[in-house]
Amino acid sequence: MSRHTRNLLIAFVILISFGYGRMYLEEPMAKDMVAKHYWPDTMSMETRDKVGQLGMTAALGGFRSLVASIMAVQAFTHWDAGRFDQAIAQYWVIVQLQPRAFFNWFQGMQYSAYDKTHSFKFPEDEKQRADWVRKYNEAVAEGADFMLGAAKYLPDDYRIYGQLGMLHAQKFIPEDWCKAAEYYRMAAACPDTKPYYHRFSGYALAECPGKEQEAYDLLRATYDDNIRFGSVISYLNKLEEKLNIPQADRIPERSKIK
C-alpha cells in the first residue's frame, strides 16, 4: 500500500469517526433549538405541513428568508394590481418558508379577509346577494385559516387570537360573537398580552346569546378595576337593563353611546 493510499484511508477513518461521534452532539443541540423555537417542530405537524417544511428546508438551504422576501415582493406586485388570488397563493408558500414569522401569516390574512373582500362589489340585485355573501365569507374564512395556521407555530401569540376575534366580530356575515368572545379570551390569556383583549372579550360576550351574565361579571370587574371607558359603561348600562340588576347595584354613569 502506497503512503498516499494509506493517508487517504486515515483521512477517511477520521471523517467517519468524527461523523459518527458528532451525531450525538448535534442531535441534542438540534432538539434544544426546536424547543427554543429557532425552527418549527416538524414532529408535531400534520403530514402535509411536515412534508412542506422538510422539503423547503432541504431544497432552499440557508436562503429561505431571502426567497420568502422575494416572494413577498412578488405578492405585493399582485396585490397592487388587484390580483388578490395570486397574492394570497404566494403567501401560502411564504408562510411555509418562514412559519414562525407572524407578519407573513398576518399579511396573508389581510390580503384575504380584508383586501379581497373589499374588492367584491356589493350587488344591487338582491338575488345575487346570497352568492356575494358566500364569496365574501369564503375569503374571510381563508383569512381565518391563515391565523389558525399561525396558531400551530406560535401558540402563545396573543395577536393571532386577537385577529381571529376581530374576524368573527367584524368580518363574517353574520358576526359570530360567541366565537369572537372565545378568541378574545384566548388572546387575553396569552403571555405579554394587551389589557384591552380582556374587555373586548366582555363586549363580545355581551352580544352572545345566553352569555349576558358572564359578560356583566367580566365588565363589572373591569369597571371596578377603574377601567371606565365609554364602551365599558355603555355595555354595562345595556346589560344592567337586560339582566334586571337592582338599581342600587348599578353603576352611576349613563353612557351617551346607544
Partner 1 sequence: MNDDQETQAAAPAENRTGYSGPALATESKAHSMFSPSRIWALTMHTFTQMVRMRVFYFLLFFSAAIILVAFMFLRFTPEQELKLLKDVSLGAMSLFAGIFAIAGTALLIPKDLEDRTLYTILCKPVPRFEYLLGKLLGMLVLIFVSMLFMDALFCTVVGVREKILVKETADAYDQELAKFPERGQNESWKEQREEALAAITNYGLRWDLQAAVWAIFLKASVMTAVTLLVSTFATTTLFTIISSIAVFIIGHGQHLGRSYFLSGAPEGGFERPLAGVIAIIFPDFHLYDIVDAVVSGEAVATTLLLQMSGMTCLYLLIYTAAASFVFSNKEL
Residues lying near partner 1 in the complex (CB under 8 A) are found at 2-4, 7-8, 10-12, 14-16, 18-20, 22-23, 25-27, 29-30, 32-33, 36-39, 54, 57-69, 72-73, 76, 80, 98, 100-103, 107, 194-196, 229
Judged by CB, which is closer to partner 1: 77, or 213?
A: 77
Least distance (Å) between residue 165 CB and partner 1: 15
Side chain identity at 194, as an amino acid letter? K
Least distance (Å) between residue 63 CB and partner 1: 6
Judged by CB, which is closer to partner 1: 97, or 136?
A: 97
Judged by CB, which is closer to partner 1: 73, or 248?
A: 73
Least distance (Å) between residue 126 CB and partner 1: 37
Side chain identity at 90, as an amino acid letter? Q
- What are the grid coordinates assigned to 108, written together? 396573508
Judged by CB, which is closer to partner 1: 52, or 176?
A: 52
Judged by CB, which is closer to partner 1: 93, or 178?
A: 93
Least distance (Å) between residue 8 CB and partner 1: 6
Instruction: HSE, CB side, 13 Å, CA atoms: give it for residue 12.
Output: 6
DSSP string, 16-84: HHHHHHHHHHHHHHHHHHHHTTSS--GGGS-HHHHHHHHHHHHHHGGGHHHHHHHHHHHHHHHHHTT-H
Least distance (Å) between residue 86 CB and partner 1: 18
CA distances from residue 141 to 110, 122, 146, 215 in whole angstroms, order as listed: 12, 18, 9, 26
- 3 state DSSP class of 146: helix
